Amino acid sequence: MSYLTVEHLTKNFGGLSAVSNVSISVNEGELVGLIGPNGAGKTTLFNVLTGVYKPTQGKVILNKDGKSIELSKLPPYKITHQGVARTFQNIRLFKDLTVLDNVKIAMNQQAKYGLFGALTRLGKFYASEADIEQRAHEFLKKVNLDDLAYDLAKNLPYGKQRQLEIARAMATGAKLLFLDEPAAGMNPQETHALTEFIAKIRKEMDLTIVLIEHDMSLVMNICERIFVLDYGKLIASGTADEVKNNRKVIEAYLGEEE
Amino acid sequence: MKNLFSKKNLIWLGLLIVFFFLVQFLIDIRVITPYYRTIVYWVGIFIILGVSLNIIIGITGQLSLGHAGFMSIGAYSAAIVMQNMPDMTGLLLGMLIGGLVSILVSFVVAIPTLRLKGDYLAIATLGVGEIIRIVILNLEITNGASGISNIKNLISWPLLFVFVVLAVVLSANFKNSAIGRACISIKEDEIASEAMGIHTTKYKVIAFIFGAVLASVAGSLYATTYYVVKPETFGIATSINILIIVVFGGMGSLTGSVIATGFIGIINMFLQSFAEVRLITYALVLIVVMIFRPQGLLGSKEFGLDKILGFKPPFSKKLRKEKST
Ligand SMILES: Nc1ncnc2c1ncn2[C@@H]1O[C@H](COP(=O)(O)OP(=O)(O)O)[C@@H](O)[C@H]1O
Ligand SMILES: [Mg+2]
């Protein structure tokens, strides 16, 4: 069985079927792309996969350590505890907090004390806090953001904010990442830096990545497999070349005024 | 354990001891007259209220307008217990019972109301405060509208000081912990917080209960300080007064709430003799502050020793680098 299996997933908003009977699967270690014109239902699919919305129909199953977990039954925070994290199309950093605190919050599960320890600072409090702080710094070094550790997230340049959001998602301990338009609004230079960043972290940390891109070129470059959504339906899947030459895909993109 | 006795903590401890004895000395030599002392007590009690509401509103971002309700639970618990036990044991027991009742009430209330957001939450908590008041108004044990009087007056500077320091230190510890970070992340962006694996409902409830218990403790101190408790004392006006402290000091700044309460206490003192214009002047001062410092006195920053004494955060490589170059 695949790492992630999406079975006949449907999400309706009133009369609108934003995601309609989509079935896909992703293997461990893969980097796959999810493309489609604006309003195709890509973000909605991510929202269902990460528990923000409950599916109208169908289910999402994660196969981890020989166990299959039905993600579609879990609230978002529990999905994150299963090693699945995401970024948002419109950056959602904790913008008034430092880069370091953004990462520490993602590492919150590692705290080894409860309310009593927090209030009295007895027991493992100091050791655990020092440990989290150190891990957060080590992690930031790994993703080349440690020199910005004490800057507020909102003061980072745009490209770095996107990068931090990905880093923060990884800091939860996630092995499966959903990135929603990570290159949106970037100039070619920033997009290039981001592409390298994604390739690097993926290799170093054994990640499985599903990436949404509205713009085809980035996806075509780095994704091994691509899924194409249009009006909520999966209209094609395959390698970049296969998808590029698919008639339905060409029509979907031509039909879009741009 | 090394960290508990860090240089910073020891300096704070030293400052607190000096401050305690300084005020005690001023009371002893009657520079702080019995009249001024009532202001000191008022400030102390409202510091606890302000700081505890700040945990809910400023740290966790949940607008609550029913804080006086939890204050009244502590006040009545102390008043009722002290009817039969007019001594320190009675006060502490009343405080304990008030705290437990507050945990219960705030827990029951938190689950449904904290699902609401913004204005809806504000209105729901306003309703909770009113319900508590009306229940107290109609219970026999609380003696209805006339309330309970002749409560033994046990307040003293040492007693007040211990509880204020305890409340502020516990609140600061709450804020500067993984739990506090979780709460702050909820305020910053609830959806992102949940996506980072934070059980947002749980932390909102914890913050709400924590704030309610501290408010209840402040209520018990209130009862023994003013020796009368009446339902009308704990209405919306008092909740708003506590909210003003939080906004005035700065959302999320605990030291801001402490300083703001002191400030408001002093303003009240000067305006005491001008009863007619008191409320207007008070309002004007607030409006002026809000125009020039809409983020409150301290914003979301804390007044700390780090900057004054040049302490570095433990792992602050960058700051160290900057200093050496
Ligand atoms: N919460 C919602 N309520 C109603 N309609 C929604 C909601 N979220 C998304 N939609 C609709 O679902 C469709 C797919 O949107 P979205 O998933 O954001 O597309 P994409 O990310 O592919 O651009 C759009 O028509 C959008 O208006
Ligand atoms: Mg989208």
Q: How far is A256 from chain B (nearest CA, A)?
A: 31
Residues 6+ apart with CB under 8 A from B232: B145
**Domain assignments of chain B as residue spans, ordered by start:** 34-235
pLDDT at B276: 77
pLDDT at B290: 80
- Tens of pLDDT, residue by residue over B88-115, are 999 999 999 999 999 999 999 988 888 8
- Tens of pLDDT, residue by residue over A8-57, are 999 999 999 999 999 999 999 999 999 999 899 999 999 999 999 999 99
DSSP B226-293: HS-B-GGGGSHHHHHHHHHHHHHH-TT-HHHHHHHHHHHHHHHHHHTT-HHHHHHHHHHHHHHHHHH-
Best residue among A35, A43, A213 to mutate for probing ligand 1's pocket (most ligand atoms within 8 Å of CB) is A43
Q: With 50 as the cut, is the pLDDT of residue B324 above it?
A: no
Q: With 60 as the cut, is the pLDDT of residue A4 above it?
A: yes
Round to whole Å and give the CA distance between A60 and B126. 41
Per-residue pLDDT band at A243 (split at 50, 70, 90): confident
Instruction: Provide the ipTM.
Output: 0.93
Question: What residues of chain A, 11 to 30, have a C-beta less than 8 Å from chain B?
Answer: none
Chain A with chain B: Cβ pairs closer than 8 A: 113
Per-residue pLDDT band at B318 (split at 50, 70, 90): very low
Confirm if A99 and A48 have CB atoms less than 8 A apart.
no
Q: When comparing pLDDT for A236 and B1, which is higher?
A: A236
Q: How far is A78 from chain B (nearest CA, A)?
A: 6
Q: Does any CB of chain B come closer than 8 Å to the CB of residue A43?
A: no
Round to whole Å and give the CA distance between A203 and A21. 32
Closest residue by CA, ligand 1 atom 1: A13
- Give the range among A2-11, B128-137, B160-169, B278-287 with minimum mean pLDDT: B278-287
* Interface mutation target, options B1, B9, B107, B196, chain A, most CBs of A under 10 Å: B196
pLDDT at B308: 64
